[in-house]
Amino acid sequence: MTSGVRRGHLSEPRLVRWAITTVALAFVALFLVVPLVAVFAEAFSKGFDAYRSAIVEPDALAALRLTLLAAAIAVPLNVLFGLAAGWAVGKFQFRGRQLLLTLIDLPFAVSPVISGLVFVLLFGRQGWFGPWMIDHGFQVVFAVPGIVLATIFVSFPFVAREVIPIMEAIGTEEEEAARVLGAGGLQLFLRVTLPNIKWALLYGVILANARAMGEFGAVSVVSGHIRGLTNTLPLHVEILYNEYNAQAAFAVASLLGCLAIVTLVLKAVVETRVQGATRTMGAPAAEVMGWESKSAV
């Protein structure tokens, strides 16, 4: 196979490599694949009709709608914020830059339940702004706005974290070149900045979307669990499960499972593009001789 060339000294012994690979694969199977299979097995345990009826049930559809709504609001805001933060941090040096970078990570550091409670504290009936807002006919906690707020908070860092490093790496020269060539602000953004960061941006959107749809803790605190009104898919799953309706719970959970699979596939595709985009940035190609002889003419 290797025609007598010995490569054994270049890496670990074959046995060690197999052992390590086996352990890793076993972990993946045990903790990721088996649960996923279990979700679908349980979802279809009473046949396809039962599965279908669990999903088209009005409360389940309402939960699906709310989940999609929260994501549809949170993700675009996230993109807006992520681009603004990426632009600020990547293109300018300013006081408080490091602080901004640290604060962006805050939603990762804080338990989602705590962040939910903060919104209750701020906008709840006994909260700081809650009474005033309720007096003016605007309810945040135990209503849709609270769920959207909590979703925005927990999915906040994803786009920014993906976009900032690539904007920093690319720098400002291309934008300056575009400006000197006569491009206006919007042309500059659409033709130069955006194409350079589009894969990183998309990657951030996928991650933010997955988090927004799957979030449980923060949303659970502010939701109030009103069926058909303030339940998102994850909350709906919990309610069904607590009612010993395991088959319906898993049927709804399988929707989230499908989302996870789609996200993973998209992520894998986009990841290769992001790496490709980063690779083309450095390393000039070898100097091509030949123009020299042309120029001598």
Min dist CB 213 to another protein, Å, is 31
Q: Per-residue contact track with another protein, 194 to 213, x per CB under 8 A?
A: -xx-----------------
Using CB under 8 A, which of 17, 52, 125, 191 touches another protein?
191
Min dist CB 170 to another protein, Å, is 8
Min dist CB 145 to another protein, Å, is 39
Picking from 269, 215, 253, the residue whose alpha carbon sits closest to that of residue 74 is 215
Picking from 72, 33, 69, 73, the residue whose alpha carbon sits closest to that of residue 261 is 33
Selected range binding another protein among 152-160, 175-183, 256-264, 266-274, rule: CB under 8 A: 175-183
Q: Is 176 in the site for another protein (CB under 8 A)?
A: yes
Using CB under 8 A, which of 35, 184, 225, 261 touches another protein?
184
Q: Is 187 in the site for another protein (CB under 8 A)?
A: yes
Size of the site for another protein (CB under 8 A): 27
Selected range binding another protein among 49-57, 134-142, 191-199, 239-247, rule: CB under 8 A: 191-199
Min dist CB 272 to another protein, Å, is 16
Q: Per-residue contact track with another protein, 244 to 283, x per CB under 8 A?
A: ------------------------------------xx--
CB of 31 or CB of 291, closer to another protein: 291
Using CB under 8 A, which of 1, 5, 268, 288 touches another protein?
288
Binding site for another protein (CB under 8 A): 173-174, 176-184, 187, 191-192, 195-196, 280-281, 284-288, 291-292, 294-295
